[in-house]
Amino acid sequence: MKILRDLPGDEAGHVRVPRQQPWLVLVVDDEPDVRQLTTLNLRGFEFAGRPLQLIEAGSAEEARRVLHEQPGIALALIDVVMETDDAGLKLVEFIRGELRNVMIRLVIRTGQPGVAPERYVIDNFDIDDYKDKTELTVQKLYTTVRSALKSYRDLQTIEINRAGLHRILDVTPELYSLHREKLEDYFHGLLLQIIGVCNLGRSGMISTIDGLVATMEGSDIRVRSGTGELDDGPGSESRRREIAELCAQTILKGEPPEKLRSSALIIPMQVHGETLGFVYLEAHEKISTADRELIQIMANQCAAALDNFYLHQSLEESYDQAIDTLAEVAEFKDSATGAHIRRIEEYTRRLALELGLDPAVADAYAQASRLHDVGKVGIADSILRKPAPLSRDEYEVMKRHTRIGDTILRRSPAMALARSVARAHHEYWNGCGYPDGLRGEEIPLEARIVAVVDVFDALVSTRPYKGPWDPDKAILQLTQESGTHFDPDVVRALVALYQRGTLNDLIASANDDRPHAG
């Protein structure tokens, strides 16, 4: 299996590294002889293994067009006096002001220093150097161009590093609450950081580099991010998959990467002796030992973050399973109540969203709502399943389910939201509810939401002691109790959902309930 069929090889069969992309240098001068001489003097010039590509412009106006067409220009050598006495200086203002290009290095060259005195130009224009054409010997031109390109490269390195760090910092604080698809941003930021910190670069910027980051979970290899020829563009998927498989073989089986480019670098992401993935790079210039060590440190830091993420995901899954288990206990206690529990979850989610809550918060409220009646496991079946209204004493026993639910859930900090719902969903907006007589916004919002949907679903459902109410009648009942039993804002939100027909499926499901036999 050959990865790089499009690259020519030498006689020994080794893949040759492609030629580096050139540095783009714009020469702006209205004298053709000056432009030609500049080309001759810089013939054969290379910096950091990359040649020059000179682009000529005979006027400031022509230079403007070139700059629009070629955004990757690293250096501009600009004459001052061209179509006007200050055409070059106005071009500088255009580049820095209108184009907002702060990266390109600008060197003023003038044969008439009296028209644009050096100190005035340096003090008033954002340039990087000022040269009198008479003093620009071959050696001084070489020094000027090399210094300017080095400065441009270093600025680009800083910018790439800043962009990568920005993406990592953006996602790291939320790493443990992210969905899995958001990890791609984190890994892309890591890749940019590696490119920037190690002074490698990207196409059209500093140098060229192809690379990817992949994770490994058992036999599942997932490419999380790529750059250069290994980005997620059209046609790259097959090559990305081949490289990922070869890298995995190299890491897991210790096989030499014979089918990869000779410049390929594979850095495993390891934590606690376990390999969670790898960084793959195809650099077009040699990566030093120090850079390799730095990449390994960054990769291991990424592995530690990934390990923490997986641990957090595992804890969340355990929490979900605990919720499911307790909810199943409640369903086992009373099958009619079990169907009610599942509807309450979806009512709560939709109502929370209608109230403007974040989807993640709405999901958390919905999940917690499943345990609102978990305390009923402590209520005798003779009361819980009684096919008639409860007596006063029986009702007092039934009220204990809020405190029983609180007791069941209090030992787990992860159950705090569910515990709040279990205890407070029978509190009244006017303070006449139970068990604590909370009033208004003293009642947690999640409990206020569940209080409304719990009663609504009970009214429109078939129960052992009653038939279903007409939904319009149920809505009217809630509206009449708004401000006394229920939070008015929550009732208004439920009414809005009902009027839009958004609750029809849940209401229909409630009508399918049948009294529990036995």
Q: At what angle are helices 359-369 and 335-354 packed, to 10 degrees?
A: 160
Each residue's pLDDT tens digit, 21-64: 899 999 999 999 999 999 999 999 999 888 999 999 999 999 99
Residue 3 forms part of a structural domain: no
179 and 113 share a domain? no
234 and 293 share a domain? yes
3-state SS string for 70-106: CCCCCEEEEECCCCCCCHHHHHHHHHHHHCCCCCCEE
* CA-wise closest residue to 1 among 257, 281, 360, 248: 257
- The pLDDT of 235-240, averaged and rounded, is 76
Q: Per-residue pLDDT for 237 more than 60?
A: yes
Percent of residues, the chain, with pLDDT higher than 70: 81
- The pLDDT of 153-165, averaged and rounded, is 78
Per-residue pLDDT at 208:
41
75 and 119 share a domain? yes
**Which residue's structure tokens are 């990424």?**
302
* CA-wise closest residue to 109 among 134, 85, 91, 90: 134
297 and 169 share a domain? yes
495 and 354 share a domain? yes
184 and 112 share a domain? no
3-state SS string for 426-440: CCCCCCCCCCCCCCH
Q: In which band, very low, low, confident or very high, does the pLDDT at 185 lie, cut at 50, 70 and 90?
A: confident
205 and 113 share a domain? no
Strands 75-79 and 23-28: parallel
Across the chain, mean pLDDT equals 81
Per-residue pLDDT at 168:
61
Per-residue pLDDT at 172:
58
Q: At what angle are helices 289-333 and 335-354 packed, to 10 degrees?
A: 130
* CA-wise closest residue to 195 among 214, 209, 212: 209
Residues 6+ apart with CB under 8 A from 79: 28, 29, 30, 31, 34, 88, 109, 110, 111
Per-residue pLDDT at 239:
78
Which of 71, 102, 136 is at the close of a domain? 136
Q: In which band, very low, low, confident or very high, does the pLDDT at 180 lie, cut at 50, 70 and 90?
A: low
Q: Per-residue pLDDT for 275 more than 60?
A: yes
Residue 517 forms part of a structural domain: no
Q: In which band, very low, low, confident or very high, does the pLDDT at 9 lie, cut at 50, 70 and 90?
A: very low
Q: Is 376 a catalytic residue?
A: yes
CA 336 to chain centre: 42
CA distance 418 to 323: 9
Residue 431 forms part of a structural domain: yes
Q: Per-residue pLDDT for 440 more than 80?
A: yes
Q: Which one is predicted more confidently, 161 or 376?
A: 376
Residue 7 forms part of a structural domain: no
CA distances 306 to 34, 63, 220, Å, are: 57, 48, 15
- The residue count for the chain: 518
Per-residue pLDDT at 288:
67
Residue 45: which CATH number? 3.40.50.2300
Per-residue pLDDT at 513:
54
Residue 123 forms part of a structural domain: yes
Residue 167 forms part of a structural domain: yes
362 and 236 share a domain? no
Q: In which band, very low, low, confident or very high, does the pLDDT at 206 lie, cut at 50, 70 and 90?
A: very low
131 and 159 share a domain? no
**354: Cα within 13 Å, side-chain hemisphere:** 21
13 CB neighbour count, 10 Å cutoff: 6
Which tokens belong to 27?
A: 């020469």
DSSP tag of 486: B
Which tokens belong to 61?
A: 């106006």
Residue numbers of the domain that contains 278: 155-301
* CA-wise closest residue to 195 among 156, 147, 140, 141: 156
Per-residue pLDDT at 301:
76
* CA-wise closest residue to 213 among 279, 268, 264: 279
Residue 236 forms part of a structural domain: yes
Residue 368: which CATH number? 1.10.3210.10
* CA-wise closest residue to 407 among 374, 436, 434, 453: 374
Q: In which band, very low, low, confident or very high, does the pLDDT at 454 lie, cut at 50, 70 and 90?
A: very high
Instruction: List, edge to edge, every strand of the sheet that includes 75-79.
Output: 46-47, 50-57, 23-28, 75-79, 105-110, 129-132
Which of 301, 318, 346 is at the close of a domain? 301
Which tokens belong to 303?
A: 């592995």
Residues 6+ apart with CB under 8 A from 455: 478, 485, 486
Say what the alpha-carbon torsion angle 193, 198, 204, 210 is, to the nearest 10 degrees. -80
Per-residue pLDDT at 12:
37
Per-residue pLDDT at 164:
63
Q: In which band, very low, low, confident or very high, does the pLDDT at 170 lie, cut at 50, 70 and 90?
A: low
Which of the listed ranges 215-219, 291-295, 351-355, 379-383 does the model predict with the highest average pLDDT? 351-355
* CB 275, CB 252: distance < 8 Å: yes
Strands 46-47 and 105-110: unpaired
Residues 6+ apart with CB under 8 A from 422: 371, 372, 373, 374, 375, 402, 405, 406, 408, 409
Q: Per-residue pLDDT for 8 more than 80?
A: no
CA distance 157 to 233: 24
297 and 348 share a domain? no
Q: Per-residue pLDDT for 202 more than 80?
A: no
Instruction: Say how many domains are in the chain.
Output: 3
The active-site residue out of 2, 150, 259, 376 is 376
Which of 301, 316, 345 is at the close of a domain? 301
Which tokens belong to 232?
A: 């997620």
- The pLDDT of 437-466, averaged and rounded, is 91
201 and 276 share a domain? yes
Residue 171: which CATH number? 3.30.450
Mean pLDDT is lowest, of 337-341, 347-351, 501-505, for 337-341
Percent of residues, the chain, with pLDDT higher than 90: 43
Which tokens belong to 483?
A: 């401000």
**Which residue's structure tokens are 């890591």?**
190
Residue 307 forms part of a structural domain: no
280 and 355 share a domain? no
Residues 6+ apart with CB under 8 A from 383: 390, 394, 397, 398
* CB 164, CB 186: distance < 8 Å: no
